[in-house]
Amino acid sequence: MDALKSKAADLLEQGSELLDTYYRLTVVNATEKVAKASSVSVVAMAAAIFGLIVLFFGGIGLAWWIGESIDNMKAGFFIVGGIFLLLLVVLMVFRKSLLVPLIRNQIIQAIYDKSDQKPR
């Protein structure tokens, strides 16, 4: 009878160790996926900031060039402002069909990236 109790206690201990290990594995996997999604987001934000800086200085240069070409600097800046306003309107119209799915797919791909997983 003592042997049966001992085996039951061992089985219970192994079961609790298995559950603890499974819990820790789940936490590690979730942490890894969050880290991947965060890194993709940080890289995307950095690229967006640099892209905005390039767009800003390119817009100033284009406005200056157009202003000198038509001998009216104010008109050059307003023309470039109108171009950017038109691009903003187009972006807002198509954001749900183009922009949001693109960002969502990049984040999902980063979370479920299969290239760095070891084969079983």
| pTM score | 0.59
pLDDT along the chain (120 residues), means of 10: 78 88 89 81 90 96 96 96 95 85 79 59
9 in a structural domain: yes
pLDDT at residue 114, as a whole number: 61
d(CA 83, CA 94): 17
pLDDT at residue 38, as a whole number: 82
pLDDT at residue 117, as a whole number: 54
Residue range(s) defining the domain that contains residue 68: 2-111
* Residue 71, SS3 per DSSP: coil
How many domains, in total, are found in the chain?
A: 1
> CB neighbours of 37 closer than 8 A, spacing ≥ 6?
107, 110, 111
